[in-house]
Structure 1
């Protein structure tokens, strides 16, 4: 989990977001240029996935975990501080289609994955012509999740959802996503919420390596 006592302490004191970003960079991104791009991506990717009520990047830095929205807002802002022209792109797709079935999952989650049809508005970062998806940590490879092991800064990373339609690229990511979600049907909203809760609870119970501090 890419957090440190220094970062947690600063965010815990309600430090400005920019200060928390700088603490994260100092702890996990020693390089600049192309190497810094990869290091920032890896550091955010390493955050465990968890879909909670607070989707802000501040919460992701404070808690050391987050869902696609918060993680990619953090990545966007880190890359901008490194001088890369980054934006968050919101795409529409079937979130269940990118999640593998594992026998340790509850039956309800396995059924939803097999049935698919979980409409979501997923976030990723666009840097130039590259699509960076830091949703799944490398630790999830053992459970079959599509995470990169050898991305070196060239081209797209592996994507959490393969087939998507771009819906928004704007600064107010949280507002744009809220508007898109408000347009879902009642049934699609219920199904999405149930799926995210089941997935997050299962992931939270998985064994994670002990946190490394820098």
Structure 2
């Protein structure tokens, strides 16, 4: 873990290399705008707006930030890491819910295969006390996907709940981040039959492909920019 540069070291504690490498091009050797770039709101909304796709390296905070792509698993591990680095105490959760095959991104063939089968997915999100009690933090889908009907938080005032991206039937706290992905896979196996697990995987692939096509390639892991996050205006 190294600070960004001697001038920036006073802003936050030394960063893991993947965060340092993420911010280094943004500050370009000077601190102009670095406070905004590293603000909690800006980082969370930047993570929200990264392409929705599984990191090739795995569901880890490092791979999510390094590749600048993620789904609910890796995005919330990255957000958990940043919240912890900035002195907060986030809680990672997993929530079980039934997949809705009436969504437009699923094919008729997949809907037919799912008929009569309950297919569960497990969603990750965070809760954290940012000074006014615990709030929900859910940065799964980029804001731009709201126009396609995805549950998104279009903007955030820094104190309100994010929109939760599922209707949980049950939720569990995850306190050991190292085993979080393994526990999620184990819960998925306990909730689903083998055929249901195959349908779930096909559903994820169809949704990811649909996003890549409908969102102009933004779900494909294209290079990111953090300069497009809108400022919040109260009232």
Q: Structure 1 length as normaliser, TM-score? A: 0.75
1:201 aligns with 2:209: yes
Inter-partner Cα distance in structure 2 for 1:178 and 1:133: 20
Instruction: Specify which structure has the bigger relative contact order, considering alpha-carbon pairs within 8 angstroms and separated by 6 or more residues.
Output: 1
Inter-partner Cα distance in structure 1 for 2:113 and 2:77: 28
Distance 1:198 1:151, change over 3 A: same
Query: Match of 2:160?
Result: 155
8 Å contact kept, 2:55–2:69:
no
Q: Structure 2 length as normaliser, TM-score? A: 0.69
Inter-partner Cα distance in structure 1 for 2:203 and 2:127: 26
Extract unaligned runs of 5+ from structure 1.
Answer: 1-16
Inter-partner Cα distance in structure 2 for 1:57 and 1:116: 33
Inter-partner Cα distance in structure 1 for 2:50 and 2:110: 22
Query: Match of 2:3?
Result: none
Residues 116-169 of structure 1: per-residue CA shift (max 9 Å, x gap): 943111101111321111011011122121211232122310111033421232
Inter-partner Cα distance in structure 1 for 2:39 and 2:226: 19
- Structure 1 window deviating more from structure 2 (69-78 vs 143-152): it is 143-152
- Structure 1 window deviating more from structure 2 (177-186 vs 41-50): it is 177-186
Q: Choose which of 165, 174, 180 in structure 1 pairs with 2:170.
A: 165
Extract unaligned runs of 5+ from structure 2.
Answer: 1-14, 28-32, 228-235
Query: Match of 1:72?
Result: 76
Q: What pairs with 1:29-48 in structure 2 (closer than 5 Å)? A: 30-31=34-35, 36-48=39-51
Q: Choose which of 145, 149, 166 in structure 2 pairs with 1:144.
A: 149
Using the TM superposition, give the Cα deviation of residue 74 of structure 1 relative to its aligned residue in structure 2, in angstroms. Answer: 0.5
Q: Choose which of 60, 67, 82 in structure 1 pairs with 2:86.
A: 82
Q: What pairs with 1:89-108 in structure 2 (closer than 5 Å)? A: 89-96=93-100, 100-101=103-104, 106-108=107-109
Query: Match of 2:198?
Result: 190
Query: Match of 1:24?
Result: 22
What is the count of residue pairs matched by the alignment?
194
